[in-house]
Amino acid sequence: MATFYQPLIRSEDYQAFRRLLQADLPDSFEVWGEMRFERLAKLRNAGHDTPDIEVNPTEFIAHCHATGQNPSLHALWNFAFDVAQRQNNHA
């Protein structure tokens, strides 16, 4: 069983993430929620752990600049992993 940290975007931050990720995110927060739910269901059905990690658009873009990554869904999942690791190190 693996752990897949899931970026949790607050509804009030969704449009900021849409501007950063452009075509990688659907037009509405509701559709994003449905897509996210489907991904979580597949991972959980496969026996994986899927903890939510709240992400912030300002911190995400700073992370992209610091790591040389272009903003993308892949970079967002990497960022959620990094945030989780920082949180675990401070626990």
Question: What is the arithmetic mean of pLDDT over 4-29?
Answer: 94
Residue 14 predicted with pLDDT over 70: yes
Residues 55-91 pLDDT 10s: 999 999 999 999 999 999 999 999 999 999 988 877 6
CA 71 to mean position of chain CA atoms? 11
Residue 37 predicted with pLDDT over 90: yes
- Of the chain, the percentage scoring pLDDT greater than 70 comes to 99
What is d(CA 78, CA 24) in angstroms, rounded to the nearest whole number?
A: 15
> Sign (positive/negative) of CA torsion 15, 17, 19, 21?
negative
Burial class (CB in 10 A: 0-12, 13-18, 19+), 40: middle
Q: Where in the chain are the domains?
A: 6-90
pTM of this structure: 0.87
